[in-house]
């Protein structure tokens, strides 16, 4: 990586007495936040790492392979199942990030969660996401097979303060037109 550094950057680093191991680790975040998405969703990956303005130095890796985007935001329009996997980024002045896992699913409905493991007292945020955001109504969120929350019009479901009792297997279902559809189940775990 050092041979790629611009002379001015190198000077800056040397004068600051910086070593490669002093560089911070880049961080990948997703926008929107969901790490499970449906085909045709739009996903933006953002790389937070120190970079010089306009240096176009961001490198993106999908399953370890360098992808062409050099922008600090990597926009994937209309994701496909093949876009699933591990994403990492790196910038001129940061080391390679930890991976972020993206899962692209095929189906009518997908239960999304802001996290899969929560601490007691955290706010659980669930979303019953329909393919291409097709209007969904008479929506039920179920925990361990029992209805937990009903919405006439599809809405996100928030549990403001998670307790151990909120651990379990969740799915959602509702009507797409007159079609009764269900998501797959996912496990949510509350740790103490
Ligand atoms: C993705 O973006 C395109 C263009 O802005 C938009 O037409 C489409 O509805 C978006 N897809 C979803 C699933 O929101
Ligand atoms: C970075 O990319 C922008 C837009 O693509 C371009 O205008 C600029 O010249 C590039 N900067 C460098 C240092 O290559
Ligand atoms: C969808 O089907 C399930 C049984 O498979 C039923 O319990 C539920 O009431 C149906 N939902 C609606 C909104 O009709
Ligand atoms: C959810 O947890 C149950 C019980 O711990 C396990 O049997 C099941 O395989 C898990 N399901 C998923 C989708 O991970």
Q: What pLDDT is recorded for position 16?
A: 52
Whether residue 122 is found in the same domain as residue 99: no
Domain's final residue, options 105, 132, 167: 105
Whether residue 28 is found in the same domain as residue 83: yes
DSSP string, 77-143: SS--GGG-EEEEEE-TTSBPPPPEEEEEE-SSEEEEES-SEEETTPPEEEEEEEGGG---EEEEEEE
- Ligand nearest to the backbone CA of 132: 1
Whether 83 is in the pocket of ligand 2, judged by its Cβ within 6 Å, is no
Whether residue 93 is found in the same domain as residue 7: yes
Whether residue 11 is found in the same domain as residue 84: yes
- The domain spanning residue 183 has which CATH number? 2.60.40.10
Whether residue 123 is found in the same domain as residue 172: yes
Query: Which residue's CA lies nearest to atom 1 of ligand 3?
Result: 180
Whether residue 77 is found in the same domain as residue 32: yes
Per the listing, tokens 């911070």 go with 24
Domain's final residue, options 105, 120, 154: 105
Whether 132 is in the pocket of ligand 1, judged by its Cβ within 6 Å, is yes
Question: Which residue among 117, 185, 187 is best mutated to probe the pocket of ligand 4, counting the most ligand atoms within 8 A of its Cβ?
Answer: 187
Q: How many domains is the chain built from?
A: 2
pTM summary value: 0.84
Phi, psi dihedrals of residue 44, rounded to the nearest 5°:
-115, 130
Whether 42 is in the pocket of ligand 1, judged by its Cβ within 6 Å, is yes
Residue 85 to residue 81: CA distance in whole angstroms: 9
Q: Percent of the chain, pLDDT > 90?
A: 78
Domain's final residue, options 105, 140, 157: 105
* Full domain range(s) for residue 140: 109-191
Whether 144 is in the pocket of ligand 4, judged by its Cβ within 6 Å, is no
Digit-coded pLDDT (tens) for 91-130: 888 999 999 999 999 999 999 999 999 999 999 999 999 9
């Amino acid at each position: 990586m050092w041979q790629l550094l611009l002379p001015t950057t190198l000077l800056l680093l040397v004068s600051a007495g910086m070593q490669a191991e002093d560089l911070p680790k880049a961080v990948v975040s997703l926008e929107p936040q969901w790490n499970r998405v449906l085909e045709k969703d739009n996903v933006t990956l953002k790389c937070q790492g120190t970079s010089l303005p306009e240096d176009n130095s961001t490198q993106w890796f999908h399953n370890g392979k360098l992808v062409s985007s050099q922008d600090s935001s990597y926009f994937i329009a209309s994701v496909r199942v093949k876009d699933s996997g591990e994403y990492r980024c790196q910038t001129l002045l940061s080391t390679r990030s930890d991976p972020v896992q993206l899962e692209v699913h095929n189906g009518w409905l997908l239960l999304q969660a802001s996290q899969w493991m929560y601490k007691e007292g955290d706010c659980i945020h669930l979303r019953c996401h329909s393919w291409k955001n097709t209007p969904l109504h008479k929506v039920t969120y179920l925990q361990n097979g029992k209805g937990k929350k009903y919405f006439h019009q599809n809405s996100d479901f928030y549990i403001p303060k998670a307790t151990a009792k909120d651990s379990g297997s969740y799915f959602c279902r509702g009507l797409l037109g007159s079609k009764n559809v269900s998501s797959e189940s996912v496990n949510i775990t509350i740790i103490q």
